């Protein structure tokens, strides 16, 4: 550890700050055929040969469906005061439409009650990528009807849990659903159609707007409705106009395509122009933008690493080192004239460069874009190749350093005037990292995938201490 980190003044947080951890249903629950649940697009995708590392699936995952009490107790022992989890849509509405399955809702009710009994504030994400397969069979997110189905589902969950859960997130990282799911195809449903990915983006936006009003129509007014965006911090290799234009294009495709309509009620003109060879946007109907532009109570920011681009010397299609998995198809429609570069610096096991300044930049950007809107870091964390010592303990000083750096960046942003109310570490425990399977460990809690035994890593103890004291403990020596 550097001397400056040792001797730096303590980093302290406001007393009401939320210290949470985040997970998502398909990544942790398992029990995929229990209590009426039907396949989601991730069940289908992960069971399709060649789609995930070693053909791994979320069939068992970390068996949270059966071990949720143990997992809540773990969080409480560590001292966390908030937990963000997602609902499996096909557990609640197996065909993606029509009446709810009570057993599915009951599971989440039990989980919420367990959290509340331990003094942990639940934050629900309604959609973390696991569309019911029947809705994909009917066209998926490129189809407008999927947005209406989402609103119906949002209403059902809001009615069931709105009396006991105050924090609600409509969508998690719609960029991944649209562009990795329908563009590059590295995520479910694995389609590779640039025009469909932009249609999907619009219907995800519409789903957010319709879902937010459906939630508000059935929930107490005190509840907060938000969305979690994986907004990119886009940097360019130079200030050359061609590189700046490349940066603008990626910023529009990563950020403006969602925050434009959600926060400002409009798609950026530069986005419409840049994608005009891919789509004519004729599926954006009158009043859609008004519907999407719902007042939000908070904004969730998910941050891992910045994105570095330049103008491409020649047109590039296919695989690029943009950190979003290998595919012959680009997740960036209309951006074949942009080149992606590896940001210099130390990297995590995902190959993602560690740069806490990006988190500060992101928070300050949204402080300007959406003045007065409370912000939460709804995901931030790192994968490392963690292994237990012979004594069974798991030491992960790199993750502690990562958390220290990023939480310090959050604190700097608060000092600089940002209204950041909480931080959710990704992730509570090791889990199914989508197309990477179980090979990438993001957890603060280690999971032995043979026995499913949970062991808090040293980062979990470090983070728990931060949560209990409101102050970052020193780095491990």
Q: Which of residues 21-80 bind ligand IFM (CB under 6 A)?
A: 24, 27
Q: Kindly report the CA angle at 409 between 248 and 293, in degrees rounded to 5?
A: 50
Catalytic residue, from 173, 313, 346, 471: name it: 173
Residue that the structure tokens 């590392």 belong to: 53
Nearer to ligand IFM, 220 or 351 (CB): 351
One DSSP character per residue, 309-360 reads EEE-SS---S--SSSS---SS-SSTT-TTEEEEPPSS-B-TTSPBP-HHHHH
Minimum distance, C-beta of residue 21 to ligand IFM, in the bound complex (Å): 12
Q: Pattern of binders to ligand IFM over 439-458, x per CB under 6 A?
A: ---x----------------
Structure tokens at 272: 């419409």
Q: How far is it, in rounded angstroms, from Cα 24 to Cα 331?
A: 23
Q: Which is nearer to ligand IFM, 267 or 426 (CB)?
A: 426
Q: Quick one: which of 114, 173, 251, 322 contacts ligand IFM (CB under 6 A)?
A: 173
Output the CA torsion 295→300→306→308 (10° steps).
-30
Q: Counting contacts by CB under 6 A, is residue 130 touching ligand IFM? A: no
User: Comparing C-alpha atoms, which of 82, 168, 92 is closest to residue 130?
Assistant: 92
Q: Is 302 in the site for ligand IFM (CB under 6 A)?
A: yes
Is 426 an interacting residue with respect to ligand IFM (CB under 6 A)? yes
Residue 173 annotated among the catalytic residues of the structure: yes
Beta carbon of residue 357, minimum distance to ligand IFM (angstroms, whole number): 20
Q: Does 231 bind ligand IFM (CB under 6 A)?
A: no
Q: Which of 433, 438, 446, 457 binds ligand IFM (CB under 6 A)?
A: 433
187 or 216: whose CB is closer to ligand IFM? 187
Among residues 56, 114, 379, 398, which one is catalytic? 379
Q: How many other CB atoms are there within 10 angstroms of residue 174's CB atom?
A: 27
Instruction: Give the number of other Cβ atoms within 10 Å of residue 1's Cβ.
Output: 13
Per CB under 6 A, 252 contacts ligand IFM: no
What are 63's two structure tokens? 């068996």
Give yes or no for residue 379 binding ligand IFM (CB under 6 A): yes
251 part of the interface to ligand IFM, by CB under 6 A: no
The interface with ligand IFM within residues 272-301 (CB under 6 A) comprises: none
CA distance 431 to 429: 6
Extended strands (E) in 136-231: 167-172, 224-229
Residues that are catalytic: 173, 379
Applying CB under 6 A, the residues found at the interface with ligand IFM are 24, 27, 173, 302, 379, 426, 433, 442
């Amino acid at each position: 550890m550097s001397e400056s980190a040792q001797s730096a003044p303590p980093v302290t947080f406001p007393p009401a700050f939320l210290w949470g951890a985040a997970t998502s249903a398909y990544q942790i629950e398992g029990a995929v055929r229990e209590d009426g649940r039907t396949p989601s697009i991730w069940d289908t995708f992960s069971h399709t040969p060649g789609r995930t590392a070693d053909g791994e699936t979320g069939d068992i995952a970390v068996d949270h469906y059966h071990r949720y009490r143990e997992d809540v107790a773990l969080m409480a022992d560590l001292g966390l005061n908030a937990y963000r989890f997602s609902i499996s849509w096909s557990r609640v509405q197996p065909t993606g439409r029509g009446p709810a399955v009570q057993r599915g809702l009951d599971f989440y009710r039990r989980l919420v009650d367990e959290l509340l009994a331990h003094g942990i504030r639940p934050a629900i994400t309604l959609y973390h990528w696991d569309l019911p397969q029947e809705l994909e069979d009917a066209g998926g997110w490129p189809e407008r009807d999927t947005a209406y189905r989402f609103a119906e589902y949002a209403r059902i969950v809001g009615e069931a849990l709105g009396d006991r859960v105050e924090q609600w997130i409509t969508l998690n990282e719609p960029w991944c659903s649209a562009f990795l799911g329908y563009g590059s195809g590295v995520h479910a449903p694995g389609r590779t159609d640039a025009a469909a990915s932009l249609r999907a983006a619009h219907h995800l936006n519409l789903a957010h707007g319709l879902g937010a009003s459906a939630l508000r129509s059935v929930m107490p007014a005190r509840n907060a409705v938000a969305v979690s965006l994986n907004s990119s911090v886009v940097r360019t290799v130079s200030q050359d106009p061609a590189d700046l234009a490349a940066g603008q294009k990626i910023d529009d495709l990563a950020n403006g395509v969602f925050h434009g309509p959600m926060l400002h009620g409009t798609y950026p003109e530069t986005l419409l122009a840049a994608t005009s060879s891919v789509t004519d946007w004729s599926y954006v109907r009158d009043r859609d933008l008004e519907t999407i532009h719902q007042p939000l109570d908070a904004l969730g920011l998910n941050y891992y690493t910045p994105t570095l681009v330049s103008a491409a010397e020649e047109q590039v299609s296919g695989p690029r080192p943009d950190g979003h998995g290998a595919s012959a198809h680009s997740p960036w429609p209309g951006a074949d004239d942009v080149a992606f570069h590896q940001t210099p610096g130390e990297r995590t096991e995902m190959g993602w460069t560690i740069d806490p300044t990006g988190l500060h930049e992101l928070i300050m950007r949204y402080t300007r874009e959406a003045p007065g809107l409370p912000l939460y870091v709804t995901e931030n964390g790192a994968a490392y190749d963690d292994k237990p010592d012979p004594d069974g303990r798991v030491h992960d000083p790199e993750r502690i350093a990562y958390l220290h750096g990023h939480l310090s960046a959050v604190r700097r942003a608060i000092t600089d005037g940002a209204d950041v109310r909480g931080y959710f570490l990704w992730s509570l425990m090791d889990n199914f990292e989508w197309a990477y399977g179980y090979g990438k460990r993001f957890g603060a809690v280690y999971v032995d995938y043979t026995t499913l035994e949970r062991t808090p890593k040293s980062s979990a103890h470090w983070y728990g201490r931060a949560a209990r004291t409101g102050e970052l403990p020193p780095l491990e020596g």
